[in-house]
Structure 1
Amino acid sequence: MDRTLKSLSLLLSYPTEELQQAMPEIGGVLAAETRLTAAARRDLRPLVSSLQGDDIYDLQERFVMLFDRSRSLSLNLFEHVHGESRDRGGAMVSLVETYRDAGFDPATSELPDHLPVLLEFLALRPLGEGREVLADAAHIFEALKTRLARRDSAYASVFAALLQLAGVHADSDAVAELLDQPEDDPTDLEALDAVWEESEVLFGPDPNAGCPQVRDMLANMDIPGPAAPATSARAAE
């Protein structure tokens, strides 16, 4: 298992007391990761420290305000590519099939494109495959890192680390296109309700639906390899 990807998956998971108890081990894994620069490892420390020592209710409120109430910070990757279009449904179906073909059955209620779930899957796959998938999503990581940095959020360090593990520079035009989209105000509940009610997610059966970029990402993931056991993004390995 790639313990670094697993650890980053847990950092992006909803904070729980169990996660807090696992933070010393998670912090140790990240501090020893030579694929990350010394600066990247150092930048992760405030988040690790916060998740370990801050009040659990404050941590949970902060997480919800960032990732659940701000679509521009959504951890569901296809949200940034497809929004609520039918294409997202087709891409989702393909992703579920990719998980199952590899023997991975996520024990979570999250959508299959939820980043912590994807990272946990990649942690069980060959190193080169994981790097290719991360590279395909580099523009999303760069946009999320930029938006989180604007909010002075320590979570920005996770996306900086993912970009280093991907080993590529995000396409500047693709990043600019994402950053041109308006950011949500998580305290404006009326506006938030209006945005979420704009359209319904339709999960179509066509596995070829979606933009070429997402199909490429799924194709890169679908590389034959040893079957991985079912696991959950909620528990530390």
Structure 2
Amino acid sequence: MATTTPAFKALSALLTYPTPALIAVLPEIKSLVAAQGRTAEGLLRPLLNDLTGRDLYDLQEGYVDLFDRGRRTSLHLFEHVHGESRDRGQAMVDLAAHYETAGLSLAVNELPDYLPLFLEFLSTRPEDEARALLGETAAILATLEERLAKRSSLYAPIFTLLLALAGDGATAGEPAEDAEPADDLASLDADWEEAAVTFGPGTPGDGCSVDRLRTRLRAERRDARHGAV
């Protein structure tokens, strides 16, 4: 993979809700993916073909079923760390402030911890910084990759590629023990009693530095894995 910036932008787009606008830019996304090499192109070809060839309403229904109807495969990073605790609200504020400090403005309806948005943010950062920050979410990414693969989802290879992009910057997490309980709501709720992760704006002394941001991300590498039942 030659550069991270186009890869982050392409993967961010592929993880968004399927819309006519997304379908319209698929040729451009395919070109960006092809530029990353044969491995990336081969891994993503089934998803790209599916997005190109299937009815849009079917794509949208499948996306909602996969990502929006439960926490186990949620694309909101803090779901896998804070659940519905109060800490998540402050973490959202801190992350939004960090985006704004870096010059990324949020739309009214966007949550800062939405993975496609995080990837869009990374696409604006220097390569070393982007890889390092992505690496701090490796435990969440690996857990999502495993859960999606067990469902034979065409989205799973995106997480394989994200982990590859993180490379040496990826922080190790404990292996997920993912038994995928069917409809045990009590078990699902219990999954998310996890430790705090926050992002912070300001100077290196008050939370905006890359090192501080990485430190605050690190808590998830254990807690997200322990959230797998």
Tell me how far 1:219 sits from its aligned partner: 4.9
Specify the alignment match of 1:110 in structure 2.
Answer: 110
Task: Provide the C-alpha distance between the structure 2 equivalents of 1:63 and 1:221, rounded to a whole number of angstroms.
Answer: 35
AA aligned opposite 1:83: G
- Does the residue aligned with 1:59 lie in a helix, a strand or coil? helix
Specify the alignment match of 1:19 in structure 2.
Answer: 22
AA aligned opposite 1:4: A
Contact kept, 8 Å, 1:13 with 1:116, in 2: the verdict is: yes
Contact kept, 8 Å, 1:98 with 1:222, in 2: the verdict is: no
AA aligned opposite 2:79: E
Specify the alignment match of 1:85 in structure 2.
Answer: 85
Specify the alignment match of 2:52 in structure 1.
Answer: 52
Task: Provide the C-alpha distance between the structure 2 equivalents of 1:111 and 1:222, rounded to a whole number of angstroms.
Answer: 21
Q: Taking every aligned residue pair, what percent have the same amino acid on both sides?
A: 47
Tell me how far 1:145 sits from its aligned partner: 0.5
Specify the alignment match of 1:233 in structure 2.
Answer: none
Higher relative contact order (CA 8 A, sep 6+): 1
Task: Provide the C-alpha distance between the structure 2 equivalents of 1:218 and 1:130, rounded to a whole number of angstroms.
Answer: 15
Task: Provide the C-alpha distance between the structure 1 equivalents of 2:118 and 2:181, rounded to a whole number of angstroms.
Answer: 24
What 5-or-longer segments of structure 1 have no aligned partner?
A: 200-209, 224-237
- Does the residue aligned with 1:71 lie in a helix, a strand or coil? coil
- 207, 214, 220: which one aligns with 2:210: 220
Q: Is the aligned partner of 1:122 residue 2:112?
A: no
Q: Is the aligned partner of 1:171 residue 2:197?
A: no
Specify the alignment match of 1:149 in structure 2.
Answer: 149
Q: Is the aligned partner of 1:29 residue 2:32?
A: yes
AA aligned opposite 2:88: R
Task: Provide the C-alpha distance between the structure 2 equivalents of 1:85 and 1:39, rounded to a whole number of angstroms.
Answer: 39
- Count of aligned residue pairs for this structure pair: 199
Q: TM-score with structure 2 length normalisation? A: 0.77
Contact kept, 8 Å, 1:76 with 1:114, in 2: the verdict is: yes
Cα deviation, 1:179-212, whole Å, max 9, x if unaligned, reads: 45x6465xx6xx77x899x79xxxxxxxxxx63x
Change over 3 Å in CA distance of 1:184–1:28 after alignment to 2: farther
Cα deviation, 1:134-180, whole Å, max 9, x if unaligned, reads: 1000111111011101011010010001001000455241x42xx45
Q: TM-score with structure 1 length normalisation? A: 0.74
Specify the alignment match of 2:219 in structure 1.
Answer: none
Tell me how far 1:40 sits from its aligned partner: 3.5
Tell me how far 1:33 sits from its aligned partner: 1.0
What 5-or-longer segments of structure 2 have no aligned partner?
A: 201-206, 214-229
Task: Provide the C-alpha distance between the structure 1 equivalents of 2:208 and 2:180, rounded to a whole number of angstroms.
Answer: 27
Change over 3 Å in CA distance of 1:23–1:17 after alignment to 2: same
AA aligned opposite 1:6: K
When the two chains are superposed, the root-mean-square deviation of aligned CA atoms in Å is 2.8
Task: Provide the C-alpha distance between the structure 2 equivalents of 1:52 and 1:184, rounded to a whole number of angstroms.
Answer: 33
Q: Is the aligned partner of 1:71 residue 2:74?
A: no
Task: Provide the C-alpha distance between the structure 2 equivalents of 1:219 and 1:140, rounded to a whole number of angstroms.
Answer: 22
